[in-house]
Amino acid sequence: MKRPDIHCPFRRGLASRLLGVLLLALSSCAEDGAVEPGQDSGYDIAGTVSSPQRGPLAGVRVQASPSGRSAVTNDEGRYRITGVRGAAGVTLEQLPPGCDRPLARQVAPVEVETEENHVVDCDIIPVARRLLDGPCRINPNGTASCYGYLPGDGSTFGPPFFVQIAPAVSDSLIDVSAWSGQLRCVLSFRGQAFCWGDNLRGGVGNGAFGGEVGGRDVATPAPVVQSAGVTFVQVAVGTLHACGLTPRGRVYCWGSNFYGSLGDGTTQDRSIPAPVIQPDSLRFVQVVANYNVTCGLTALGDAHCWGNGEEVGAGSTAPRLTPTAVAQPGNVRFRRLTRGCGITVAGRVYCWGGVYQRTDSTRIGTLALTPVEYLMPTGMAVTDFDHDLRCAITESQRVVCWGSNFRSMLGDTTVVGWRSEPRSPMRLENAEAISVAGKSEDGACALIRGIAGVSTVCWGTFYFPALPFPY
């Protein structure tokens, strides 16, 4: 006699419940876009999200509506939405702070794989504002101080000292550009520039040409006449011209325009800021001015310059009146610009214009119409470099100098001589350096970070002692 299977009802109930769960999961997968037998798998929408000011944007959610399917951009700004069916409007969510919606809403074709590249307008993240430049510095309390013999600096011939500069501004100063010795500018937190010095060709930007009481110098910092709504995140000073960079990567310049260094398509001097001619796709994250040239750096590491053709780096001596791409070799991309040079992500340096290299005691002068790699001693990688001083900040945050020691420019106890090997100035061997700046005829200074905060040390020439001394 067959034993009755008393467990059969339980097993049949369990099987029914498992089958129900499985069918529910399959139904849910189908709703999520899983492909059922004989069903169309849909199409993909792929593409990129980028900003002219910041380059590729990561972490942006791209959504296809009305399906609700979405994807998040990777570090390269790329995304792919799979299994889209029907017409799909593409929208962007979770944009980074300071970024706006794209100019146009893009709609994907019906049932066709497509590439949708979105360009987003963002405030720039400026590259390397300078807290020290030439003879001027931004103090920890947000004021500025300068040494030297330019009107407005409050100094006379004698022992060097820093004199506080007090433009009529209620907020802190965040940027300084003052290397030329003829013109100096500072920038306030709210984006207002103040300049003083040689105004013969409008370099102060106060709406006038010439100085006070018929001279050529403006003795005290004057507010630059910026159009309504125009603010700057960086300032840059050449010999007799200056420029400001806006939060959206646009550049305005004023002052001497003899070589076209204002970038407005003319050679007419300007006493107030004039917009540089830039296509909408060309935005900068840094601006640098040299003698008679101005350069901007894009978020992708490409340099564009305008002004004296010998300093532009585009391969000819013809003046360039608008931004022109620098002929960067191969796959070279810059992470920041210094005057006449660019520093790559790997810490290598390429320079153009008047390039002076010293591999031994012989000065090698080259007019480089396109960038050439600067022969750094021992192949060291750097984060900051002053071509005129031949001083650099290494990746380990040490300041080092090399070359001629005329006037104690190497920061040791000797006065003349030559050193091929880069070495830290005495007293700074173990100091953590932020930046280095100066001029070979004026002296060198470095910003040093210590327990008590950031301090300035200077050395060399007739202005300072041979050994680095705090100021």
Q: What is the mean pLDDT of the chain?
A: 82
Query: What are the tens digits of pLDDT across the range 398-414?
Result: 999 887 777 777 888 77
Q: Is residue 10 part of a domain?
A: no
- The average pLDDT across 307-334 equals 95
Q: Are residues 115 and 143 in the same domain?
A: no
Does 342 reside within a domain? no
Q: Give the residue, 114 or 159, on which the prediction is more confident.
A: 114
In terms of average pLDDT, the best of 13-27, 134-148, 286-300 is 286-300
Q: Between 461 and 320, where is the model more confident?
A: 320
pLDDT above 90: residue 232:
yes
Report pTM: 0.84
Q: What's the CATH code of the domain at 222?
A: 2.130.10.30
pLDDT tens per residue, range 91-124: 888 889 899 866 445 555 545 677 888 889 999 9
Dihedral pair phi/psi, residue 20, rounded to 5°: -65, -45
- The more confidently predicted of residues 24 and 105 is 105
In a domain, residue 37? The reply is: no
Which pLDDT does position 31 carry in this prediction?
Answer: 41
Spacing of C-alpha 424 from chain mean position: 27
CA 69 vs CA 58, 59, 111, 308, 428: distances in Å = 18, 16, 15, 53, 58
**Segment 305-327 mean pLDDT:** 96
Residue 436 falls inside a structural domain? yes
Residues 176, 221, single domain; the answer is yes
Are 257 and 405 members of one domain?
A: no
The structural domain count of the chain equals 3
265 and 222 fall within a common domain: yes
d(CA 377, CA 446): 20
Positive/negative CA dihedral, 197, 202, 208, 214: positive
Supply the pLDDT for residue 23. Answer: 42
Where does a domain end: 337, 360, 389?
A: 337
Predicted confidence (pLDDT) at residue 270 exceeds the cutoff of 90: yes
Same-domain status, 292 and 149: yes
Mark whether 204 and 92 lie in a shared domain: no
Is residue 338 scored above 80 in pLDDT?
yes
Whether residue 9 lies inside any domain: the answer is: no
Q: Residues 275, 157: one domain?
A: yes
pLDDT band at 437 (very low <50, low <70, confident <90, very high): confident
**Higher local confidence (pLDDT), 175 or 165:** 175
pLDDT band at 304 (very low <50, low <70, confident <90, very high): very high
Task: Please indicate, yes or no, whether residues 112 and 211 belong to a single structural domain of this protein.
Answer: no
19: pLDDT confidence band, cut at 50, 70 and 90? very low
What is the domain-level CATH number for residue 61? Answer: 2.60.40
- Residue 237 maps to a domain: yes
Across 208-236, average pLDDT: 90
Rounded Cα–Cα distance for residues 366 and 28 (Å): 70
The number of residues in the chain equals 471
Of 90, 119, 148, which residue constitutes the final position of a domain? 119
Same domain, 178 and 199: yes
Q: Kindly state whether residues 312 and 185 are assigned to the same domain.
A: yes
* CB 243 within 8 Å of CB 230: no
Q: Compare 466 and 446 and report the one with higher pLDDT.
A: 446
Residue 186 shares a structural domain with residue 288: yes
- Which amino acid, one-letter code, is at 102? P
Is 278 domain-assigned?
A: yes
Does 370 map to a domain?
Answer: no
Q: Write out pLDDT tens, residues 58-68.
A: 999 998 887 78
> pLDDT category, 390, cuts 50, 70, 90?
confident
The answer to whether the beta carbons of residues 387 and 345 sit under 8 Å apart is no
> Exposure string (b/e) for 283-319, b if CB count within 10 Å is 16 or more?
bbbbbbbbbbbbbbbbbebbbbbbbbbbbbbbeeeeb
Pull the structure tokens for residue 237.
């000073």
Tell which of 337, 355, 388 closes a domain.
337
Beta bridge partners of 412: none
DSSP reduced 3-state for 301: coil
**pLDDT band at 356; cut points 50, 70, 90:** low
Percent of the chain surpassing pLDDT 90:
44
Range of the domain at 140: 132-337
Mean pLDDT computed over 132-144: 87
DSSP reduced 3-state for 176: strand
Question: Is the Cβ–Cβ distance between 196 and 220 less than 8 Å?
Answer: yes
- In a shared domain, residues 174 and 295: yes
